[in-house]
Structure 1
Amino acid sequence: MEPKRLYVDFHVLQTVPPSCVNRDDTGSPKTAVYGGTTRARVSSQAWKRAMRLMFREGLLDSEQVGDRTKKIVGLVADEIEALAPGQDAKKMARDALSLAGLSKIKEDKEDADTLFFMSRAQARALAQLAVEGNNDKKAYKDALKAAPSVDMVLFGRMVASDPSLNYDAAAQVAHSISTHAVQNEYDYFTAVDDCAPEDNAGAGHLGTVEYNSSTLYRYATVNVKELEEQLGGEAAPGVIRTFGEAFVRSMPTGKQNTFANRTLPDAVYVTLRTDQPVNLCGAFEKAVPATANGFVGPSKAALADYAQKVYTCYADAPLQAFTVGEGLETLAPAQPLGRMLDALETAVRQQLNAETGNEVE
């Protein structure tokens, strides 16, 4: 029988003050046209990077977080040095990576041509094979495919030169967009030269920085069955909880020193689904109009109303739902974030154990 599908969808409404969270190639805040109007936008890549940094800051231990880097020779060489001090660790590392199929590393260099995602367990396994003097290419390739890090399973690994090393991402993160139209603004600033003579009233530097402010709709989904397949049923619920906390609390760091724009969400809506992921961005295809009461309240109302319409017309209501913050109580009772994440972890564990016949205390 085909495995039961299980998805966790995260919907977040978050107001960000004047800021430049995510810049394009000209330094302007990223935007997108949606519903015929220009919206503020933060790319999924920017937010996933912020989440991975939060993983490193204590949500996951160091063994559970991988490195996406060109300096893979150094990663393997460090493990070789720990296992066999005094050896030519860098040469052994280059040879090991070549046997694994990653041959685009010049003899006198430590950098690969492209970024490669590697877990510490994978680097250690390659080092062990190198120290043992193993020359079996399959063994090295198997070492690079086994023991992925948590963030590798969540966000995937793509190796163009060898698709057999790919990992399909268990999580998908949408580009965040504002629920309303925006127009970028410019801040003209000057800097004073502290050592300038007293009779010099001019600025030592002047410039401009582009910014906007917005109420963002953010969405992400996790394929629980994919996560379970790669990490095991015991680990998956805890990883879902960690993903949820990082998605809710993280913030990309673009121009953060300039704007101090770090905020927490105004409302969070989380669902468990057994049919398919459902992005509710259609709630804002018609831009929320500007009013003296701001955008947050109307955005919450639009999200709740649209979700109910989608459930009525196209999709079943979610298996379970949770909310944080005020304004979405028509969808699910509100809870503090920590309690909601605990309840979510328990719900995911119950669903996984129900399929295996195990009970959750």
Structure 2
Amino acid sequence: MKNRTYVDINLLQSVPASNINRDDTGSPKTAQYGGVTRSRVSSQAWKKAIRQYFIDHLEEKNLGTRTLELVGFVADKIQKLDDSITHTEAMDKAEKVVNKAGLKTNTKSKKHPENDYKLKALFFIGNEQADKLAQAAVDGVDDKKELQAILNDNPAVDISLFGRMAADDPTLNEDASAQVAHAISTHAVNTEYDFFTATDDFSSKDNAGAGMLGTMEYNSSTLYRYANVSGHELVKQLGDPKKAAKSIALFIEAFVKSMPTGKSNSYANETLPSAIVVTIRDDRPVNLVNGFEKPVSSDDGYLDESLERLNGEFEKANQFVDAPKFVLTLGDSNLEDKNLESLEAMSNFNDLLSKFVEEVTPLLSED
């Protein structure tokens, strides 16, 4: 049986009045779970925030770009390689190499010239892959297998973690090594309404009316958040256990510190988690949301009871799966599973990340 390394990240995070993730009507997203309405933040919203954190903290060579403007992106790199090539020539070379690789661009249109050279579907490409594709265009490479090898080899860290779907050619797909759950509140919520007015600074003194009236919907909640990373798969993608370990550590950091930006200027809901539990297993990942299937009910705050539920579900889960390789906690989690020798409470987040890299690197090297 091959070695496996699964990293689970469990968080409890209270968020005050906010609307960080809206549906198509502007209402905060919700979910039915355990027979009641919960606050919900979609995995897509938090993954977007994590990717933005990566952009701010990763080297450009390790980043991916998701765009319809792939031809222009590659064309810019072509001109950097050879400044004698004009912009039009670079665009034509880039489009040719992109098409040869199996990605389709729009048919040229006089009515909509702004769509010329754009892909028909978004494509996620690593910076190193784009550099090599530009070099292939300059060198006149037109072999499909060779060009697709460029797009499949050396994936960027965020592409490896979040995956890539190529609508035009499935051979360019990249499986995601990370999974992010929709965050839900540990308790039932009710949507509330904020009535607001805006005044006109140039209105006459005898006009007491508002320049604009409106309402914004919001709620507040204690969220259970969960994500996992398949470490052994990430090693295959990145080709280096040390790089994979540091990449997972950055993913944990981004998962903890990032926040979707919906209505953030209106509510300033920049909170941090109250409890973090990072678990390394070799059999399978485990989402602990079942601990909150019965909604927490309280008139004295939800966090304390939510922590008890999290700890109880952690101990219950360990009756069904193999004992974790090790467990790192931070904050108010206070796990007390006496059967776990590998459980270690950390004093601060930086120590948790350092300890994680120290413990997981040899496990990934075995993978």
What range describes the TM-score normalised by the shorter chain of this pair?
Answer: over 0.9
2:355 counterpart letter in structure 1: A
- Which deviates further from its counterpart, 8-17 or 225-234? 225-234
Counterpart-to-counterpart distance in 1, 2:336 and 2:222:
21
Per-residue deviation, 1:319: 1.2
Quick check: 16-25 or 124-133, which moved more?
124-133
Q: Indicate yes or no: 2:96 matched with 1:95.
A: yes
Give the match for residue 340 of structure 2. Answer: none
Residue of structure 2 equivalent to 1:283: 291
* Letter aligned with residue 71 of structure 2: V
- More off after superposition, 80-89 vs 47-56: 80-89
Between the aligned residues of both structures, percent identity stands at 49
The CA distance in 2 between the partners of 1:156 and 1:134, in whole Å, is: 26
SS of residue matched to 1:235: helix
- Aligned residue for 1:68? 66
The answer to whether the aligner puts 1:345 opposite 2:366 as a matched pair is no
Q: Distance in 1 between matches of 2:315 and 2:335?
A: 12
User: What are the superposed Cα offsets for residues 19-38 of structure 1, whole Å, 9 maximum, x if unpaired?
Assistant: 00100111100000000000
2:122 equivalent to 1:115: yes
Letter of the 2:168 partner, please give it: S
Which AA in structure 2 matches 1:334? A
Deviation per residue, 1:128-180 (Å, 9 max, x gap):
11111222222211111112110000000011221100110000000000000
Query: What's the offset of the Cα at 1:317?
Result: 2.5
What is residue 250 of structure 1 aligned with on the other side? 258
In the alignment, which residue of structure 2 is the partner of 1:273?
281
Residues 1:235 and 2:240 aligned together: no
* 1:28-68 Cα distance to aligned partner (Å, 9 max, x none): 0000000000000000010000000001112x111111011
Matched, 1:37 2:74: no
Amino acid at match of 2:99: S
Cα displacement (A) at 1:316: 2.3
Does structure 1 retain, via aligned residues, the 8 Å contact 2:95–2:105? no
> More deviation in 160-169 or 97-106?
97-106
TM-score for both structures, normalised by structure 1: 0.95
Q: What residue identity is the alignment partner of 1:154?
A: L
Aligned partners of 2:4 and 2:232 also within 8 Å: yes
Q: How does 1:15-54 map to 2 (within 5 A)?
A: 15-54=14-53
Q: Do the aligned residues in 1 keep the contact of 2:121 with 2:167 (CA within 8 Å)?
A: no
TM-score (norm 2): 0.93
Alignment match of 2:326 (pick from 320, 324, 337): 320
Q: Does 1:195 align with 2:206?
A: no
- How far off is 1:191 after superposition? 0.4
Q: Distance in 1 between matches of 2:198 and 2:284?
A: 53
Alignment of 1:223 onto 2:230:
yes
User: What root-mean-square deviation, in Å, do the aligned CA atoms of Structure 1 and Structure 2 show?
Assistant: 1.2
Secondary structure class of the residue paired with 1:200: coil
Question: How much has 1:338 moved relative to structure 2?
Answer: 0.7
Structure 2 residue aligned with 1:84: 82
Instruction: Tell me the equivalent position of 1:334.
Output: 345
Three-state SS of the structure 2 residue aligned to 1:203 is coil
**SS, match of residue 234 in structure 1:** helix
Whole-angstrom CA distance in 1 between matches of 2:282 and 2:355? 18
Amino acid at match of 2:361: R
TM superposition shift of 1:290: 2.1
8 A contact 1:326–1:334 mirrored in 2: no
CA distance in 2, matches of 1:186, 1:341: 40
User: Conserved in 2, the CA contact under 8 Å of 1:179 and 1:216?
Assistant: yes
> Do 1:94 and 1:105's aligned partners in 2 also have CA atoms closer than 8 Å?
no
| Amino acid paired to 2:286 | V
* Among candidates 119, 130, 136, match of residue 143 of structure 2: 136
Match of 2:310 in 1: 303
* Equivalent-residue separation in structure 1 for 2:79 and 2:8 (angstroms): 43
Structure 1 counterpart SS, 2:214: strand
Question: In the TM superposition, what is the alpha-carbon distance from 1:330 to its structure 2 partner?
Answer: 1.8
Partner of 1:359: none
How many angstroms does 1:74 deviate by? 1.2
Q: In 2, are the aligned partners of 1:301 and 1:328 still within 8 Å (CA)?
A: no
What is the letter of the counterpart of residue 352 of structure 2?
M
* Cα separation, 2, equivalents of 1:337 and 1:258: 29
SS at match of 1:242: helix
Determine whether 1:205 maps to 2:227. Answer: no
- Give the Cα–Cα distance (whole angstroms) in 1 for the partners of residues 243 and 55 of structure 2: 18
Count matched residues. Answer: 351
Rounded to whole Å, the distance in 2 between the matches of 1:317 and 1:118 is 38
**CA spacing shift, 1:145–1:327, aligned 2, 3 Å:** closer
